[in-house]
Chains A and B, each alone.
Chain A
Amino acid sequence: MSKLNIKLRDPNEVMKLSRLGSFHQSKLSFLRSFIREFKDWEYKRNIFELDKDGYGVAVYSFEKKKRNYSLICFAQHINPNERSDRVIATKWDTAFVLHDGLPARSDINRLKKNVPKQEIGRMSYKELTLSRANKSVRVFDHVVNSLSEGNQPDRNLLNKVGYLYRTTAVYGSGKFGLADRFRIKNRKEVYGPFRLEMMLVYLVRQFTFDQVNHIAKNKNPNKAVQLDENIARNLGIGNSTGLGMAPFIVNHPTLLHKWIYNREKALKEIRSIEVVNNDEFNFFKDCLTKSKKIIDTWLTDSEYQNKKINSLKSDLVKFDVFLEKNCSIKTKYLWNEIYLWVEKNLKEECIEYIVSMMMEPHDKIIDPLINNMSSEEEQYFSIPGHRKISDLKTILEKKYQSIIKINFKEKNSIANFWFISKNKEEPRVANRYEEQGAELEQPLAIARDIKQLYERILKANQSETIADFLLNNDDLRHVVRRAFIADKFPYSEIQDNTIGASLMPIDMLRLKLSFFGAVKFDPRSDKWLRINMYQGAPLSHELKNSDDTWIYNSLN
Chain B
Amino acid sequence: MITFSEIETTTKRASKAAGFSWGVAEEIGKSIRSLELFGLPGIINLNKYLKKIKIKHPKKIAKIEKKNKTRDKELCPIYSGVAFLDRCLELEKLKSLKFYKVSYPLLMLPFISRASEMISKKILVQFDKSSFLLNFDKSIFSKDIEKQAPSIAKVVNIEFLENKNSFSEQDWKELYKLSEETFVEESDSLKKSAAGAGLTDND
List residues of A whose CB falls within 8 A of some B CB.
124-125, 173-175, 177-182, 378, 381-383, 385-386, 420, 443, 465-467, 470-471, 474-481
Contact = CB atoms under 8 A, between A and B. Distances in A.
Interface string B1-43: 1111110000001000000011110110010000000000000
Interface stretch (B85-93, B97-105, B142-150, B152-160): B85-93
- A420, A467, A480 — which one has the most chain B CB atoms within 10 A of its CB? A467
Given A474-B21, A475-B21, A477-B22, 11 more contacts: A174-B4, A175-B3, A179-B3, A180-B5, A182-B4, A385-B85, A471-B61, A474-B23, A475-B22, A475-B23, A481-B23
6 cross-chain pairs, A with B, having the tightest CB-CB distances, nearest first: A477-B23, A174-B5, A385-B86, A467-B86, A174-B3, A478-B23
B118 interface: yes
A481 B86 CA distance: 12
Interface of B: 1-6, 13, 21-24, 26-27, 30, 60-63, 82-83, 85-90, 114, 118
Contacts of B30: 378, 381
B23 A466 contact: no
Contacts of A378: 30
B62 A471 contact: yes
A467 B83 contact: yes
Contacts of A173: 5
B90 A386 contact: yes
Given A382-B118, A385-B85, A181 B23 contact: no
B86 A470 contact: yes
B26 A478 contact: yes
Contacts of B27: 477
Given A386-B89, A386-B90, A477 B1 contact: no
A385 B82 CA distance: 10
B85 A175 contact: no
B3 A180 contact: yes
Nearest to B88: A385
Given A174-B3, A174-B6, A386-B90, A477 B24 contact: yes
B85 A382 contact: yes
A467 B91 CA distance: 12
A443 B22 contact: yes
Contacts of B83: 467, 471
A179 B82 CA distance: 29
A385 B115 CA distance: 11
